[in-house]
Structure formats: structure tokens, C-alpha cells
A and B are shown apart, each in its own frame.
Chain A
Amino acid sequence: MTGRVAVIRLAAIALLAIAWEVLARRFANPLFVAPPSATLVAAFALLDDPDVVRALLAALQELAIAFVIAVAAGVVIAVPLGLSTFWRGAFLPLVLGLYAIPQVTVLPLFVRIFGLGPPTKIAFGVTHGVFAVILTVIAGMRTIDPILLRAATSLGATRRQLIFNVVLPSLVPSLFTGMRLAMSGVLLGVLLAELYVSTTGIGFFTQAFTNAFAPAKLFALILLLATIAIALNELARVAERRFSRWRT
């Protein structure tokens, strides 16, 4: 059964790739469209270009830092809130209110505050990722099986032991779900900020390739970024599954 599914998927992808190749070569304006063959060639060329590689690595670095900060900040904010129904009820609406703001509208403000360098991109990534962590960890804390807490208490566990031996381990699956969602958020935030700042980094190259009408290079750069995005998302997904195995 999975064999047939894989065949259909591969066939669909192959069909699209062939259509792209044919249409790009015969009908499309080479100023705007490049076929997959040219794109792949350009991709390898880009990877040989030290400036491009530097930009990609810079972005990856920003992603990593933003991710760590988002997760850490998210946990630090969420756990105290989750432990108290009063404070959760008080602050959660505020968090949700902030979450509802379309962050892209304040991107220019971020640049004014943090400048054109990595701090802006990291900050924007953090603000996109942190909410996911906060909301999933708070939700995770609400669903800790009270029976487990009662069982541990009846066995004589102290508050500290409860937190470290029952609450935190129970939270691990929710934490990894939050991290997966944070990964998507951080990716979006960092990429948005990178694309906005066209003086250096990825934004510089996307604008350069666009202005030079070099579609193969542009497609290639996007392909590389998309691959990075997919890889990171997969990593987060696998981690989530791995650490949620005991969950019913």
C-alpha cells in the first residue's frame, strides 16, 4: 500500500518537474523564468560562492539563536503562568492579544530600534516563535493528569520533587510540540527580516538577482532556503515524535 502511495507522489512530482522544464524552455521569457535544470546548476554555483554561503550561514546562525531564545523565554514565561490558575487567567488574554497583532506591520519599527544587522532578525524571529512555546506549554500544563500528581503526593513527594519528577517530564511532549511550532515561527520571522533588509545577507542577494533578471540564481537561492526550511521542520517533527512516544 505505501508502495502505491510513494509511486503516485513521485509521479506527480516528476510530472510537475517535466512540465516546468518544458514550459520554461519553450514558452517562457528567460528573463523571468528558469527551468529546473538551470536552477540546479545555479544552486551548485551559489554554494561555491563564498558571499552567498556567508549569507546563508548568517541566516542559519540567526535562526539558531532566535530559536534558543524563543524556547527559553517561552518556557520561563509559561511555567509560572501554568502553575497558577489565577495568573494564567490574568495574563493569558494579554498574551493572546499581543499574539493577534500582525507583526509584519512593526517590522520597520524593529529595524529602527535594532538596526540593519543580525539583532533585528534574531529579535523578529524570537517574537514570532515565542508565542507558540508559551501557548503550548501552558496548554500542556493544564493537561497534566491530576491522578499522577495525586499518586506522587500520596507517596510523599515534596513540591520540588513534584515539579521535577512529575510536572516537567509530563511537559516534555508539549514542549516539543511548542518547539516544532516555534521553529516554523522563527523561520518565518528571520526570513521576513532578512528579505526586508536588502543591504546585506539574503535580502541583498534576492534583490540583486531580481534586479539583474537572473531567474536561475533567484530560483536556486529560494530552493536552497526552502530546503533549509523543510530540513529544520522535519528535524523538529521527528524530535517531537521521538519525545512524545509514551503519550496516548
Chain B
Amino acid sequence: MDGISVRGVSQTFGTADDPRRVVALEDATLDIPAGELVCLIGPSGCGKSSLLDIIAGLAKPAAGSVTIDGEPVRGPLPKRVSFVFQENALFPWLSVDDNILTGLAFQGAPKAERRHRADEALSAVGLEAFRDHYPHQLSGGMKQRAQLARALSLQTEILLMDEPFAALDEQTRLVLGEDLSVLLARMRKTIVFVTHSLVEAVFLADRVAVFTARPGRIKTVLGIDEPHPRSPAFMTSAKLAGLRNTLYELLHDEVRRAMATEAAV
């Protein structure tokens, strides 16, 4: 099938005889068809970021497998998968423009295309005026937009995002979320998005996979039936509020359980 196929993936940290060994993820199985935006949400330590690393080929699972378009993932696939991190992923010694061009150099994109791709990406996120700025000169929201531009310039079919807005204040998050929805509606990408924010998950996703507390398993997958791009009206709608409440009920016990185990450690 086209898209991402996760089968029975488990992840552990620490060796078998280590008393502090942790099972982060247990037996995760999920299909993400091409073109869908799936959010992974769950309490801290439930393995959602680990799963993202495994899909990206940045980490090997303890058990299970991931296939992309039918082929098993054995390492990073820069031509198929791009990744947006929580923060600090821009190279501080390079300008925004050079950050993007360096990413293209890493990917091995044809030299003739790089300039054009970078320009396209910069205009997609609205940062053309800041292309020669350095990361330390940008606000948090702009830095994440720059990172997104870098990922978009790689023109991959799959985009993974690990809590990209976590370091930003809520108001910036909301606005960026709206912009992201508009942007992604234009492109036909498969997106897996990890977040802690209930509203963000409902607002952006086609489906939301809810994780249990550690060891993380996929408890439920909630469908969000709403056309893209998601409008600001959706943000204030009763439908969103209702879905958010459903998510809350699904998550609440898991979060409590996660906090209890953290205190016990």
C-alpha cells in the first residue's frame, strides 16, 4: 500500500539486565495511507516520539517493522521522509537560506534545482524577507517556520513533525497551526505529527492516534471528519470542542497513570 505501515513496533531503552530498563513503546500497529495527516498524542514517555524516530529511520525498533510504500525502513530516507524537530534544529552558524541549501546538499538534490526549491520553500512559509537572517535573530515562531521551509524544500512525500510548536507560546501556536493547515492542504503529503496539545491535534488531523501511558500502546484512533484546509471558524466550533472533549476523556486517565509512575521512579 502507499503510505506508512507500522506493524507491531516496540521500543525499549536500556539493556535486558539493566534495572532501569524502560519499555517505551509496545506493539504499535497503525496504517497511514498516503495523503493523510495523523496526529500521535499521549502522555509523556508513551513512546510517540520514539515511534516517529523509528519511522524516520533514525532509530531501530526493538521489535516490529515499518514499511514505506511497501519497502522496509532501514535508515534515513531523505528523498522520501523529512523531519521537523521541536527546536534548535537550525544550524546557528548559517543563515536561513544557507540552512535550506545545506539541507538540499545533504539530500543530494541536483545542484541546478536547489536555488529554486529554496525560494519556493521560503515563500511557502512567508520568510523571503528573512532569508539572510541568522537563527538567533528570529523569534521562536519564525525559527520553526524556517525549519519547516527546510523540510519542505526537500520535496518529500512524507513529513514527520515532532512537537514542532512545543517551544512556542499558545497564541503563536494557534496562528501557526492555521497557517500550517492552509499550507498542507496545497501539498499532497503524508504527515505524522506528534503533539501534546489536544486542540492542535483535533484542528489539524484527519485521524488522531491516542497512546496509553508507558508502555505506550495505541489505545484508540479517533477520526476527524472535516474538510481541509481547516478554517479559523472550525477552531471556535462546537464540533471541535466536542472532539476535544472526547480526546480529553480518552487521555485523562493515561496522563494520571503516567504521572504516578514518574513519581514512583
In the complex they form, whether A and B have CB atoms below 8 Å apart is answered with: no
Which A residues are within 8 Å of any B CB, using their own CB? none
A-binding residues in B (CB < 8 A): none
